[in-house]
């Protein structure tokens, strides 16, 4: 089995600086050996070389390192302020968080160099894409995707048309 294995390009590479259209796929609480954190997953919807890529942003609000925890709280506060117009002191509810799932956003990515000399990818700004209509939950996944992607200007692939003749059109 190992002899057939070849490494492939992974999604851990940083996005270049710039603006990206994306859709929020999930916002979850997670825990690892470094502590509790909030993980936001966004799917990139533009730029052919990044289309469909899942970009993760981790807010390590449960870190034991005070500086890391402080910055995570600042970044998560900005996240809710930018997308839900939250004011200082407001706490997001489960409904607030769930209301963001599936929303199209424009995210601005910038790289910074840490004190350790390592380069980090930072999402410095998120804003909801304009003209996002409300899609009923009962709508089909295709209708939801069309509404969601169409609202932010992502071209949709037309439904396939079949040109194969019907059985009664085939000459015998």
| pLDDT for res 153 | 56
Q: pLDDT tens digit string along 103-127?
A: 999 999 999 998 899 998 888 899 9
Nearest to 104 by CA among 28, 46, 158: 46
Nearest to 24 by CA among 10, 35, 8, 38: 38
Instruction: Give mean pLDDT, residues 163-168.
Output: 51
Residue 8 has pLDDT above 60, yes or no: no
Q: What value does the mean pLDDT of the chain take?
A: 78
Whether 47 and 20 have beta carbons less than 8 Å apart is answered as: yes
The CATH fold of domain 11-130: OB fold (Dihydrolipoamide Acetyltransferase, E2P) (2.40.50)
| pLDDT for res 47 | 86
User: Quick one: pLDDT band at residue 42, thresholds 50, 70, 90?
Assistant: very high
User: Quick one: pLDDT band at residue 132, thresholds 50, 70, 90?
Assistant: low
Instruction: Give mean pLDDT, residues 56-70.
Output: 92
Least confident of 12-16, 18-22, 144-148: 144-148
What is the pTM assigned to this prediction? 0.68
| pLDDT for res 41 | 95
- C-alpha span between 72 and 75 (Å, rounded): 5
User: Quick one: pLDDT band at residue 6, thresholds 50, 70, 90?
Assistant: very low
- C-alpha span between 70 and 73 (Å, rounded): 5
- C-alpha span between 16 and 108 (Å, rounded): 10
């Amino acid at each position: 089995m190992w002899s057939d294995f070849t490494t492939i390009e992974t999604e851990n590479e940083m996005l270049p600086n710039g603006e990206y259209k994306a859709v929020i796929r999930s916002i979850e609480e997670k825990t690892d050996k470094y502590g509790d954190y909030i993980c936001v997953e966004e799917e990139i919807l533009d730029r052919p070389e990044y289309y469909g890529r899942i970009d993760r942003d981790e807010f390590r609000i449960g870190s034991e390192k005070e500086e890391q925890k402080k910055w995570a709280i600042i970044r998560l506060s900005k996240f809710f302020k930018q997308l839900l117009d939250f004011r200082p002191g407001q706490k997001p509810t489960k409904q607030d968080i769930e209301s963001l799932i599936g929303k199209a956003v424009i995210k601005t990515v910038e790289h910074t160099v840490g004190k350790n000399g390592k380069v980090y990818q930072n999402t410095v700004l998120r804003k909801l894409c304009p003209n996002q209509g409300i899609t009923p939950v009962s709508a089909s996944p295709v209708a939801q995707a069309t509404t969601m992607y169409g609202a932010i200007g992502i071209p949709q692939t037309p439904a396939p048309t079949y040109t194969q003749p019907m059985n009664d059109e085939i000459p015998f």
